[in-house]
Structures are given as C-alpha cells and as structure tokens.
Structure 1
Amino acid sequence: MNNPDRQPVTLVTGGAGFLGSHLCDRLLAEGHRVIAMDNLITGNLDNIAHLRSRTDFEFIHHNVTTHIDFSGPLDFIFHFASPASPIDYLELPIQTLKVGSLGTHNALGLAKAKGARLLLASTSEVYGDPLVHPQVESYWGNVNPIGPRGVYDEAKRFAEAIVMAYHRFHGLETRIVRIFNTYGPQMRPDDGR
C-alpha cells in the first residue's frame, strides 16, 4: 500500500459480477474503500445494491476496454472484468477478447500510473481441454485457439502474458489466480458453467 496511515483504496473491475461482487463485500469487511467498475454486459447491479448507500463504496459504470480515468490514490486493482459463462462468451466473443486484451492493458496502465498492485482473475480454461489431470501450473494446456471457446481461453492466456510482461518490464507488483469451477450465491441459474 502506498500510505499505511490511510484506508486502502481498491478498484474491482467486474465489480457487479458474480465473483467481483463477493470480492467487494470481502474488501469492505476488511476496511478497504472499494470502487466497483463494471459495464454491466454480464454484471448485475442487484449484486451490489446492498453496498450502494455505503460511504466507502462507489460504483462506476465504465467499459474497461476504454481508457480508465481515475483521480486520487489507488492501492490495489482486482481485475475481474470478463464474460466468464460459456453462454456469455459465445454470445459476446469480440467483447470477451477485448476485455482480455485492451481491458487488461488499461488496468495495468492504471496500476503503473498509480503505483498500485494488480491481481488478475484468470481461469482453468487457460489449459483448454487438458490431457493431464489434475493440472499443475507448469502444464501449458491443450487449447484450440480458433474454436468457438477459444475466445475466452486465449483472452485469458493473453491477459496472463501481458500481466507478466508488465511485471518483468516495468517492475509492477502483480499476481495471477486461476479460478476453477466456482459457484454460489448471486450466480445466474442459467450461467452454463
């Protein structure tokens, strides 16, 4: 954190989504000031309705594939923005690729400008249709880059690559988590996962 004497300020992209909204809850419980950013193509304001009256919470309706303008201090970015349901990324293939590439680039640019740490929410789909079970992190996967599901797999693989490039080239403090088979409250019943 840039200043340990003040409340940490955290941006959650995809903050109105299934996982992002739960992350907002957790960060607020841990004392963060939270800014949830979402373009609502798959996120839902109902997921964060209970937070909207809080003074330490702000919602910004914004598409991260365009420049992210943010004034004031920023300590952490949790980049969770992306269609994640197979139903969504098959219906929104170009948007899925753009958020994985342009959205991740914009989030990294903001992290660099603010001196913030960035965590990328990736996926087990980076392994594609794995030939090895269970997968270890050194397994590169079995991905069909031109198949219909490839838009999500490749968007996340690119996102991981650019996150690591920013870490290596700019010294940005980054983390990547590959999330597997998540379900629970606020998940759409027709999610398709």
Structure 2
Amino acid sequence: MDRLAQRRNELQNEEKQLDSVKAKVNFGMLRGEELSMDYESNKLQFDLIRRISFGYLKDLKEKKKHFYSFKTGLEDRLQDLEAKERQFEESVKEFKLREKSLILSEKQLKITVKICKCPALLVLDVMSGTYPSHSREETVEFNVAGEWKKKMRVAVENSLEVLGLLHLLAVHELAPTFDGD
C-alpha cells in the first residue's frame, strides 16, 4: 500500500503539474488572443491613419498646385502692372516735355505780340489759317470771332486769348454784332 499511496501521490502531483501546465497554456492562449486583437486594432488604426494621411497629402498637393497657379497669376499681373507703370512714366515724361514746349511757345507768343505793330491782325492771320476753307465767305472775321468765342468759354484762364479776341473785334468793328456774354 505504500506503493499505491506513493503512486497516488505521484499521480496527484502530476495532475497538479498538468493542471498548472493547462492553466499556463490557457493563459498563453488568452494572451495570444489578446495580442492578436491588439494587433488587429493597431492594424485598423494604422490603416485609418494611412488613409487620412493620404487624404491630407492629396489635399496638400491640390493646395500646392492652386498656390503655384495663384503665384503665377500674380507674377503675370505684376509684370503687366510694371509694363503699364513704365508706359505711364513715359507718358508723364512726354506730357512734361509738351508742357515745357507750350510754356516756351507761350513766352515766344507774348514776345511776338508785344513786338508786333498790329497784334489783332497777327491773331487774325494765325486763326484764319486754322479754319477750313469753306469758312472764307463774306464775313471770315465774324466766323473766326464766333468760333474763337465758343472755344474761349471752355478755357477762360488764358488772358491773352481774351485780349486777342477783343483786338479782333475792335480791328474789324465786330463788337456791336456780338453779345455782351
């Protein structure tokens, strides 16, 4: 019986060891399933992050493309504006040259009118050459004076022009036929 008791003890010990091994195997299987679930969860998260990243990357590429298109448009507009600015500056220079030329012409005209013995005839000669030939009818002087008066209403600042018209009216005795306006 001793032997039998000993064998029973051995069997019980082996059974305990077997139960311990089973428990470890079950724990390992549970841990393996848990790790597998963690792996699947991580894989799903990675796939989601990758899809989101690709979406952001695609949006970023589109925005980059739009940015470069916008930048190119702005550069084109800048070149156009620079060209227009150069044209404007050239026009300003041209106007300044014309202004200087007109000032010189005005000074020369003042000198010529002062030197001339009959400034009214000089003005009449100058003005009669600027009108078409069909105005040379019986009263050329009257027509010239009428045109001159119309143009003078637009720019009355020039006192020489007013003085010239008055000389024209006085020399050709046209003053009574004109209005007081």
Q: Normalising by structure 2, what TM-score?
A: 0.22
Judging by fraction of residues, say which structure has more strand. 1
Q: Which has the larger radius of gyration?
A: 2
Judging by fraction of residues, say which structure has more helix. 2
